[in-house]
């Protein structure tokens, strides 16, 4: 079988870069496609304190830069390009780019990632990394003995609120409805926690602060406005998969996230997925990188099958 590449990786975040590192080191004919800058979501993360090997922590941009440099040392071929569609059916995978070019490959690793659902209010984007966060597991230790707020009422929001009480002095959960959507057992744990307070039937209309978060502006369902002084805001209202270019009719998925087995194989032969695009509970840089490595190893095994050797 003759194709342009043995492996094409779509996405240059931690999962994609690690997949590329492993593939280039294994001397595969591999190409990594990324429409933006390498690193994905971590490039807008102010500080990463929990990635192994960096005891003092480092910025998300620096970690992405180091990952890209390590992959480049093994001559990973990369291309800055926007993928517009894919055909993953059959032994030859077709990747169509915005410039009209079509690439072919025997295997594909999908590492397009996901993005947090934002509130879309004034102050939110400006204060990301300065008190606005979308991941309590990542950033909770930065809020020791501070008063913070959690926006949302689902399982993730309430579980993360409970986690945050290990560090913050007070956590105020703000929910637009009059009751939580989280499962009852999680609700009971939150209601029993004396560090958690709730504000019901209320939305956040603005995040206030000059150089860092100082307060949030609130409005309840009756139109009454108020402000709440906090030093941190955790927006936990959902995560959206970056799946716009994926042929979801060719892949098993749940809520738009790609279903994989433990080897990161999807339902389509020769197609793997890694990182935040996958259907899973934990979305951290460290497990995205691990999944990228596993995905490439699975691609290697697929390529080694006798019927697919060139």
Tally the C-alpha atoms within 13 A of residue 67's C-alpha that lie toward its C-beta: 33
Q: What is the dihedral of CA 79, 85, 89, 94, to 10 degrees?
A: -40
Please answer whether residues 101 and 4 qualify as being in contact, where contact means their C-beta atoms are separated by less than 8 angstroms. no
Please answer whether residues 240 and 115 qualify as being in contact, where contact means their C-beta atoms are separated by less than 8 angstroms. yes
Pairwise CA distance, residues 47 & 62, whole Å: 9
Please answer whether residues 106 and 5 qualify as being in contact, where contact means their C-beta atoms are separated by less than 8 angstroms. yes
Catalytic center residues: 135, 138-139
- In whole angstroms, how large is the CA radius of gyration of the chain? 21
Render the burial of 251-268: b for 16+ CB within 10 Å, e for the rest: bebeebbbebeeebbbeb
Pairwise CA distance, residues 37 & 164, whole Å: 31
List, in order, residues 6 or more apart from 169 with CB less than 8 Å away.
145, 146, 147, 195
Pairwise CA distance, residues 34 & 287, whole Å: 20
């Amino acid at each position: 079988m003759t194709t342009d590449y043995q492996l094409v990786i779509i996405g240059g975040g931690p999962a994609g870069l690690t997949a590329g590192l492993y593939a280039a080191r294994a001397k595969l004919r591999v190409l990594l496609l990324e429409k933006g800058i390498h690193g994905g979501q971590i490039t807008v993360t102010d500080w990463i304190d929990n990635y192994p090997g960096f005891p003092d922590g480092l910025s998300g941009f620096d970690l992405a830069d180091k990952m890209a440099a390590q992959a480049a040392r093994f001559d990973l071929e990369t291309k800055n390009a926007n993928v517009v569609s894919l055909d993953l059916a059959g032994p030859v995978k077709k990747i169509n780019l915005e410039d009209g070019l079509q690439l072919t490959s025997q295997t594909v690793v999908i590492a397009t990632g996901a993005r947090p659902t934002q509130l879309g209010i004034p102050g939110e984007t400006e204060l990301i990394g300065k008190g606005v966060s979308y991941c309590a597991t990542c950033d909770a230790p930065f809020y020791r003995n501070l008063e913070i707020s959690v926006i949302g009422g689902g399982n993730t929001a309430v579980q993360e609120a409970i986690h945050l009480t290990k560090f913050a002095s007070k956590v105020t959960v703000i929910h637009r409805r009059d009751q939580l959507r989280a499962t009852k057992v999680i609700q009971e744990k939150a209601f029993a926690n004396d560090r958690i307070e709730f504000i019901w039937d209320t939305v956040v209309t603005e995040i206030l602060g000059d150089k860092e978060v100082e307060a949030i502006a609130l409005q309840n369902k009756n139109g009454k406005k108020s402000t709440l002084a906090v030093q941190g805001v955790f927006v936990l209202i959902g995560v959206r998969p970056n799946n716009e270019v994926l042929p979801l009719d060719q892949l098993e998925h749940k809520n738009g996230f790609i279903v994989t087995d433990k080897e990161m194989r999807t339902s389509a032969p020769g197609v793997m997925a890694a990182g935040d695009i996958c259907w899973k509970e934990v979305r951290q840089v460290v497990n995205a990188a691990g999944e990228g490595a596993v995905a490439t190893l699975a691609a290697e095994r697929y390529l080694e099958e006798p019927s697919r050797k060139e």
